[in-house]
Amino acid sequence: MNLSHSIFPISSLYVGDLHPDVTEGILYEKFSTAGPLLSLRLCRDTNTRRSLGYAYVNFNNSNDAERALDTMNFDLLKGKPIRIMWSQRDPSLRKSGLGNVFIKNLDKSIDNKSLYDTFSAFGNILSCKVAVDDRGWSKGYGFVHFENEEIAKKAIEKVNGMLLNGKKVYVGKFIPRAEREKQLGEKANMFTNVYVKNFKNDVTDNELHEMFSKFGNITSCVVMKTSDGVSKCFGFVAFDNPTSAVNAVNEMNGKEVDDQSLYVTRAQKKSDRQRELKRQYEQLKSERYSQCHGVNLFIKNLDDFIDDDRIRKEFSQFGTITSAKVMMEDGRSKGFGFVCYTSSEEATKAVTEMNGRMIASKPLYVALAQRKEDRKAYLASQYYQRYRMQQNIPYGPPNLPYVLPTISHGSRFYNTINHIRAAPRWASAAPIRPNGTYAASCPFRVTSRPSIPNNSNRNSVLARPITGQQAIAHSRPNSKYTANGPSNVTRPTAASMNNVGDSIPLNINSLASSPPPLDQKQVIGERLFSFVGTIYPELAGKITGMLLEIDASELLNMIDDQESLRAKVDEALAVLQAHQHKLVKD
């Protein structure tokens, strides 16, 4: 492949169709055989951290990237063929459609590799894909994007009308949907095929034909049946001109036939019908949100026995409620619900009065309801702001590529990607300064992830990570914590962490009254640290940091129940030991 290096100067590859179980380590092991890697990024969902099925691999030079593309494309990885193409940083090439070819009427046996092999004889291919459904089966069409328009025209001339696996294929220039609809104009709304349902199961093809023949000449008419020959009570009627079809829909839709109300409409492909239903749903959701915006409240941390009537009763004192609903699953409460008022003033008053109030045995969390996309955008912006405040972090956030410095050891190569794991619930995110200490802005979220070691002490660093107490001593030199543990915290011995002699009982109200500089998680963390230190003194800092990943309301409940807290501590210890064992083994 002699692809111009000026088009892709950074030697970056896109790797798609990845199996969900493929990790950064597997990809590094695969592609490092072609040459040294500059960086590697497996794209993941920001919420679940699950793989999105594609990655970007950057090589030090373009020759290694070309070698990987030529030799590894469509190789099996975890039993699934991967698809490699050049990463196009400029989207204008894709959006322009230049050199993009559409192929339809493909045999179901033709996959990405077969299509690539067929069209690669005409020139360099930027991308090649056969469209598949949710089960991975071919939809019978695909796309091939060539390096330039001349190669695409040559491929269309040679392949259009040829037999591929016994089927005559159509090959033509790709035209985007918006442009196709614009070209069709009024014809896009014209149709000749009519869908009919809700007739009796004894209606035959001839009777359906007779029912619609008065509207014009019918080219075909069929009642759909099961494999046993039983009518499905729907069918299709095709007219020879659009006018007859429109008249049939207008006349017959809703008409009573044999005490059955017919449903007659334009016949659509499944994809068109799904797109129309999605558009209607989005419109309905937008209208509903505009009506409830500023007056709909989200309530969580509800006890299991609280139902719609109870939540309506508790919130009715603040104004007129139009709806109150506790979300259920399999007959059990999911622990959250919604209350909608008639005015924003009533909703604001309810938030002010009810947020943090104890209902039954739990403090409520009450806030204005947000759309999922708005909430995700808000959380993402907060995450980005925290990241900008911690520019000394050696590892990038999940949405940035990981840098892969290689460490030579004889003829072997190691890289830090083997020590980067996906972040489960217990994953810590403490920023590490270049000197190995932890940033003071996050005193309790400690980690055993090492800074990049050199070749001489690599194994020793992995075997002896910084302990939690050392991290706290580094990160909070002026606090009441020392390298040997907390200096003046009374260890709890009763069944409740709120029985600590020199401490005020922790709850939502006491946290809300804390001084502004004092973070709620920090207050809870100090209480947790004193408890964990009595069980595992050497790991108190690490385990405390892991526990602080849990929601604050859950932590408050755990503080009141020593047994549940001890169980959570043991669970965190098991995760920590398993990770430590893996680091030492690697």
pLDDT (tens digit, 9 = 90+) per residue, 133-148? Answer: 878 888 899 999 998 8
Domain boundary among 319, 341, 368: 368
CA 550/CA 444 separation, integer angstroms: 13
Contact 195, 236 (CB under 8 A): yes
CA 284/CA 279 separation, integer angstroms: 9
228 and 203 in one domain?
A: yes
Low-confidence ranges of the chain (pLDDT < 70): 1-10, 90-91, 93-94, 181, 183-189, 388, 390-521, 581-586
Domain boundary among 309, 335, 368: 368
- Asked whether residue 213 is assigned to any structural domain, the reply reads yes
- Asked whether residue 385 is assigned to any structural domain, the reply reads no
- Using DSSP, state whether 537 is helix, strand or coil: helix
For 301-364, where are the E strands, in sequence order? 321-329, 332-341, 358-359, 362-363
The CA dihedral of 268, 272, 277, 279, to the nearest 10 degrees, is -140
Query: What does the chain come to in residues?
Result: 586
Contact 64, 35 (CB under 8 A): yes
156 and 223 in one domain?
A: no
> If we measure between CA atoms, which residue out of 129, 127, 164, 132 comes closest to residue 147?
127
CA 446/CA 475 separation, integer angstroms: 10
> If we measure between CA atoms, which residue out of 54, 179, 157 comes closest to residue 101?
157
Tokens of 310: 């109870």
305 and 263 in one domain?
A: no
126 and 225 in one domain?
A: no
- Using DSSP, state whether 234 is helix, strand or coil: strand
CA 294/CA 296 separation, integer angstroms: 6
> If we measure between CA atoms, which residue out of 39, 84, 88 comes closest to residue 66?
84
CA 446/CA 127 separation, integer angstroms: 43
Look at residue 488 in the predicted model and tell me its pLDDT: 41
Q: What single-letter amino acid sits at 40?
A: L
Q: Which domain holds residue 564?
A: 514-583
CA 375/CA 514 separation, integer angstroms: 26
305 and 232 in one domain?
A: no
| Total domain count, the chain | 4
Torsion sign over Cα 3, 8, 12, 16: negative
Query: Tokens 């937008």 — which residue?
Result: 286
Tokens of 379: 């959380």
Each residue's pLDDT tens digit, 315-364: 999 999 999 999 998 888 899 999 999 898 999 999 999 998 888 888 99
Torsion sign over Cα 314, 318, 322, 323: negative
> If we measure between CA atoms, which residue out of 81, 70, 132, 134 comes closest to residue 106?
132
Contact 545, 468 (CB under 8 A): yes
Contact 438, 387 (CB under 8 A): no
- Asked whether residue 390 is assigned to any structural domain, the reply reads no
Look at residue 554 in the predicted model and tell me its pLDDT: 75
Phi, then psi, of 478 in degrees rounded to 5: -100, 5
Phi, then psi, of 22 in degrees rounded to 5: -70, 130
* Radius of gyration for the chain, computed over Cα atoms and rounded to the nearest angstrom: 32
CA 511/CA 501 separation, integer angstroms: 18
What is the helix, strand, coil percentage profile of the chain, to 5? Answer: 40, 25, 40
CA 240/CA 243 separation, integer angstroms: 9
221 and 319 in one domain?
A: no
Look at residue 511 in the predicted model and tell me its pLDDT: 55
- Asked whether residue 524 is assigned to any structural domain, the reply reads yes
262 and 327 in one domain?
A: no
CA 77/CA 18 separation, integer angstroms: 7
162 and 105 in one domain?
A: yes
CATH of residue 566: 1.10.1900.10
User: What is the 8-class DSSP label of residue 214?
Assistant: G
CATH of residue 51: 3.30.70.330
199 and 113 in one domain?
A: no
Tokens of 146: 């060539």
Class of residue 577 by CB neighbours under 10 A (exposed 0-12, middle 13-18, buried 19+): exposed
CA 66/CA 72 separation, integer angstroms: 10
CA angle 28, 29, 33 (to 5 degrees): 100
> If we measure between CA atoms, which residue out of 8, 31, 36, 5 comes closest to residue 18?
31
Contact 141, 131 (CB under 8 A): yes
> If we measure between CA atoms, which residue out of 518, 504, 508 comes closest to residue 557?
508
Domain boundary among 142, 168, 184: 184
CA 81/CA 73 separation, integer angstroms: 8
- Asked whether residue 379 is assigned to any structural domain, the reply reads no
73 and 24 in one domain?
A: yes
Please tell me the number of Cα atoms within 13 Å of 535 on its side-chain side.
21
209 and 107 in one domain?
A: no
Say how far residue 35 (Cα) sits from the centre of its chain. 31
- Asked whether residue 440 is assigned to any structural domain, the reply reads no
Ordered alpha helix ranges (H), 167-317: 177-184, 205-212, 242-252, 270-292, 308-315
User: How close are the terminal C-alpha atoms of the chain, in Å?
Assistant: 37
117 and 60 in one domain?
A: yes
